[in-house]
Chains A and B, each alone.
Chain A
Amino acid sequence: MAKTTGIVTGIVSNLVTVLVDGPVAENELCFITLGGDSLMAEVIKVNGKNAQIQVFESTRGLRNGDRVEFEGKMLEITLGPGLLSSVYDGLQNDLTTMEGVFLKRGEYTDALNREKLWDFTPLAKPGDKVIAADWLGEVKEGWLPHKIMVPFSFKGEYTVKTVKEAGSYNVDTVIAVLTDERGEDVPVTMTQRWPVKVAVRAYREKPRPQRIMETGVRVIDAFNPIAEGGTGFIPGPFGCGKTVLQHAIAKQGEADVIVMAACGERANEVVEIFTEFPELIDPHTGRHLMERTTIICNTSNMPVAAREASVYTAMTICEYYRAMGLRCLLLADSTSRWAQALREMSNRMEELPGADAFPVDLSAIISNFYARAGVVILNNGQTGAVTFIGTVSPAGGNLKEPVTESTKKAARCFYALEQNRADQKRYPAVNPIDSYSKYLEYPEIKAYLDETVEAGWVDNIAKAKNIVRRGREAADQINILGDDGVPMSYHVTFWKSELIDFCFLQQDAFDPVDSLCPIERQKYMLDILLGICDRDFDFADYEKCRDYFKNMINTIRQMNYSEFHSESFEAYLAELNNLLEENGN
């Protein structure tokens, strides 16, 4: 079938109007010929014979009359062994193999190394009946078993005709031949292609999340846990530690595969990942962090339209690994930049705007995207998960703006970073009262926590939250009436909340011990803190009360900085118990 072609008839920045001579599809990929370059673009609106396309590159020098060729498919990426530890741009070009210091327009590089040999082990045998996403074989990618699957795009049932014997092959080797229902043979290699904007649905079912994903960050794991296969978002003004928190989650998250999408953010932050991650060790496996990480990098100065593609590319890679029965974590920083890219296009297309000039379907786009996360039960009964955490950069730090509001409807966990806490250097600056995790209401998660942490854990969390809340109320009273104007009990209530805040909610992301706090240690510490809060204290004046609690806080913080149950940890614990004997009962 001949390809549809067209000619450029209008240009506004990266929105180009094309007069086409044949059928085109929404989101179809096309290439514009400009001198010797060909610029990738995507159809975003069709009106009669006029297709409007967003160009993923600079349109400088483009002329009316330039030729456009349509590809008959949507924006696709290549899936196969070698995705991990790669650094891609939003369109899955390998940034590490590009020549020169500056990005060149129209330069597209291969996503996978075509020469590298992988040790293949067959998992299927001739005669097996298979459907899309069934496992045909396996290669070792780092330490992960990378499954070679029946491509997601295959419809219906196939019979395995042949499978390659164990051996070393490159990704383009035909590792199996399948026979379809009409008796035709189809070769399968180690790679497949998938359109990024379409969710992969090659699984049996998508149950509710059953367990939590540990991050080692106390204010998340204990106070507002995120489920494995769950969704969460972190809104916050600039300078509140959004990036530090996200990097902490990336370093410590309990997942097999991490995909980080740097979407419209600072290039130097990505450089930090390149510089740091290869040195860092995954606390769960002892392997290099980079081995389980893929970085999708579309920084703020890279072409705007590819920002949108970058988050979809990242999600598709997660879904691919999920189909292997792995637990994936997707971090996107920041989804606001993606929404702004949508706004720029909508504006150029002269669509009627919604709030703050964002497109009216912003909310639907965001919730569709969040819906792609989740736990799935694969065709073979195993499970895989994609956990998604996005950051949001609300304009002016005001959470009543369209991106935050739309995301709030879609994400189940909300980690509100607060300017006030950041100013007081109370990091992570997650507001303990406003933030929430809907997963704490799930009976299956409750049961999981009862079993794996301790019975009644969720109630303990509620209790701790309430202590913080009451402390805030007491602080308000003290501020209004003065230190001497309130009964001593107000001071004690206030300092109990400070105890929880300083010793549990605050955590030093740069300290080698404190930065990663496993859940059993979180439980141990919270039990101690709640034990203290249950006691009654008696003080002659508020300054004594302050000094006593400050002393106690200092001792417990030293515990946080010491290895769990180490000699110094136990010494500080003894010191704490001495303090408690001095006062309170």
Chain B
Amino acid sequence: MATKAYQKIYTQLEAITKATVSLKATGVANDELAIVHGRLAQIVRTKGDMVTLQVFSGTEGIPTNAEITFLGAPPTLHVSDQLSGRFFDAYGHPIDGGPEIEGEERQIGGPSVNPYKRRQPSQLIPTGIAGIDLNNTIVSGQKIPFFADPDQPYNQVMADVALRADVDKIILGGMGLSNDDYLFFRHSFEAAGALDKIISFVNTTEEPPVERLLIPDMALTAAEYFAADKNEKVLVLLTDMTLYADALSIVSNRMDQIPSKDSMPGSLYSDLAKIYEKAVQLPSGGSITIIAVTTLNDGDITHAIPDNTGYITEGQLFLRADSDSGKVIIDPFRSLSRLKQLVQGKQTREDHSQVMNAGVRLYADAQNAKTKLENGFDLSDYDHRCLAYAKEYATRLLSIDVNIRIEEMLDTAWELFGKYFSKAETGIKNALIEKYWKA
């Protein structure tokens, strides 16, 4: 983004905070970009001739006589098929040593899809993970986050999901990724030989937090290009949205805004919704599916970030370490896919929803048995069978290292039902029992 010759250069800053600078300037537009002391900044407030800019890479070392030039436009991304296989920073500049992208320059954070023009999501996205495909089936055009404590392997799971999903493009928006995780993504994409369908926008922990605010809009602008212009099925991965929200709170705090719950800005819901609602099934067949990560503090989903996220997204996938199986599982109780009924039994086998419900219900009975055991009450025969079932169910189906087709998941579930329970105990419709029961 070269500065243009006729542009006025300002050299007098009136105020500096850790994230923002203010100066007197005229004729500038809301959301416009500027270069402050060689760093990219964006206008967030004007009051009379006083303009406040948010400096993405932080204000350390910016003097009051810094040079400021305004660029005349909000942040943009060049879109074309050349994006495929490339890695970019938060500003859309290549970080893989390759050339700049040629193509149409688009403003990021563009308008929403007219809700009336949307279509109901209806395409199954198989992942091979039974905790998802069997219990919380994902549909194209859906938005769903992983809720996970920081010690869970959420980035690995997400990379697995992305590489197995049957989509045309995968777009990674990495916010506050550790350098190790960035390299992990890069290597797993390369190893899978899938680089040509992957586009990455990455802000690592080594880079300033405020830059992260650009990442989701960059990733989604690229996604909209492929979904709307090219009618492709696009999967967007956003990790970690908690760090994105933290960056929002930094900026709002520096602008003296009054914080609401958990020191988050009052606009957190709208800010997150603007991102997640980009998930869409378009009438032309293109779609954007968003799988995100929201890290939790000790499993607390009442914190403002997961709480607002839960109200926006279509369910959540809850990762948890399971002591019975010694594996990380997708918790069947706290996870939910709100769109699963749109494909279960329609694009999958007829017994899908009944098997899913029975499996989870019996797992719940096992939890009750466990509580009884812990409280020192005697266990019945049924309780013992439930506990044995739970262990095998967690190992063979809930664990995130499972990678099988949905039919196999259903067959495995029937096998476990037959091994531990009577037909009546499963509570499944008779017609299905007769067809699928494995003695």
Contact = CB atoms under 8 A, between A and B. Distances in A.
Interface stretch (B189-197, B207-215, B273-281, B409-417): B273-281
Contact of B111 (A96, A102, A238, A268): A102
A166 interface: no
Contacts of A58: 111
28 contacts: A10-B47, A12-B45, A17-B47, A60-B30, A60-B107, A63-B27, A63-B30, A64-B49, A65-B26, A87-B116, A95-B116, A100-B114, A101-B228, A237-B310, A268-B120, A268-B339, A271-B115, A271-B120, A274-B116, A300-B269, A300-B273, A304-B267, A304-B270, A340-B266, A347-B265, A357-B259, A423-B333, A482-B377
A59 interface: yes
Which 7 pairs of residues, A with B, have the shortest CB-CB distance?
Answer: A396-B302, A300-B273, A301-B277, A357-B260, A95-B116, A238-B310, A60-B31
Given A299-B277, A396-B261, 8 more contacts: A12-B44, A59-B30, A103-B114, A237-B310, A266-B277, A301-B278, A356-B260, A396-B302
Nearest to A352: B258
Contact of A357 (B258, B282, B314): B258
A237 B112 CA distance: 26
Interface string A34-78: 000000000000000000000000111111110000000000000
Contacts of A381: none
A61 B30 contact: yes
Contact of A95 (B46, B115, B228): B115
B118 interface: yes
A417 interface: no
B266 A344 contact: yes
Contacts of A337: 269
A404 to B, nearest CB: 13
A304 B273 CA distance: 11
B343 to A, nearest CB: 14
A98 interface: yes
A237 to B, nearest CB: 8
Contacts of A393: 311
Contact of B120 (A59, A272, A297, A347): A272
A393 B27 CA distance: 42
Contacts of B336: 239
B270 A344 contact: yes
B181 interface: no
Interface string B355-399: 000000000000000000000010000000000000000000000
B150 interface: no
Given A301-B277, A340-B270, A344-B267, A267 B115 contact: yes
Contact of A11 (B46, B114, B280): B46
A61 B48 contact: no
B28 A63 contact: yes
Of B111, B113, B273, B302, most A-chain CB atoms within 10 Å: B111
B119 interface: yes
A275 interface: yes
Interface string A356-377: 1110000000000000000000
Interface string B300-315: 0011100110111011
Nearest to B260: A357
Nearest to B43: A11
Interface string B26-67: 111111100000000000111111000000000000000000
Interface residues of B, number: 63
B435 interface: no
Contacts of B48: 9-10, 64
A10 B113 contact: no
Contact of B273 (A9, A60, A95, A264): A264
Nearest to B269: A340
Interface of B: 26-32, 44-49, 74, 107, 109-121, 141-142, 228, 257-261, 265-267, 269-270, 273-274, 277-278, 280, 282-284, 302-304, 307-308, 310-312, 314-315, 333, 336, 339, 377
A105 interface: yes
B269 A102 contact: no
B258 A268 contact: no
A20 to B, nearest CB: 15
A61 B29 contact: yes
Interface in A400-440: 423
A343 B260 CA distance: 9
Contacts of A104: 111
B121 A347 contact: no
Nearest to B224: A102
A163 interface: no
Chain B contact surface mostly: loop
Interface in A4-41: 9-13, 17
A195 interface: no
Contacts of A344: 266-267, 270
A300 B302 contact: no
A395 interface: yes
A175 B114 CA distance: 35
Contacts of A423: 333
A272 B310 CA distance: 19
A267 B118 contact: yes
A401 B424 CA distance: 45
B47 A60 contact: no
Of B267, B314, B315, most A-chain CB atoms within 10 Å: B267
B342 to A, nearest CB: 9
A160 interface: no
A105 B107 CA distance: 14
A292 B176 CA distance: 50
A68 to B, nearest CB: 14
A104 B117 CA distance: 13
Of B117, B257, B336, most A-chain CB atoms within 10 Å: B117
Contacts of B257: 347-348
A299 B46 contact: no
A476 B116 CA distance: 49
B30 A10 contact: no
A103 B118 CA distance: 12
A395 B309 CA distance: 11
A493 B257 CA distance: 55
Of A12, A17, A393, most B-chain CB atoms within 10 Å: A12
Contacts of B314: 266, 268
A301 B288 CA distance: 15
Given A101-B283, A102-B111, A301-B274, A398 B116 contact: no
Nearest to A265: B311
A268 B277 CA distance: 9
Contact of B261 (A100, A102, A238, A395): A395
A272 to B, nearest CB: 7
A395 B114 contact: no
B45 A103 contact: no
A122 interface: no
Contact of A397 (B115, B282, B302): B302
A61 B74 contact: yes
A270 interface: yes
A202 to B, nearest CB: 32
Interface string A186-217: 00000000000000000000000000000000
B46 A64 contact: yes
A300 B266 contact: no
B118 A268 contact: yes
A145 interface: no
A130 interface: no
Contact of B46 (A10, A101, A102, A270): A10
A96 B118 CA distance: 11
A475 interface: no
A353 interface: yes
A12 B134 CA distance: 46
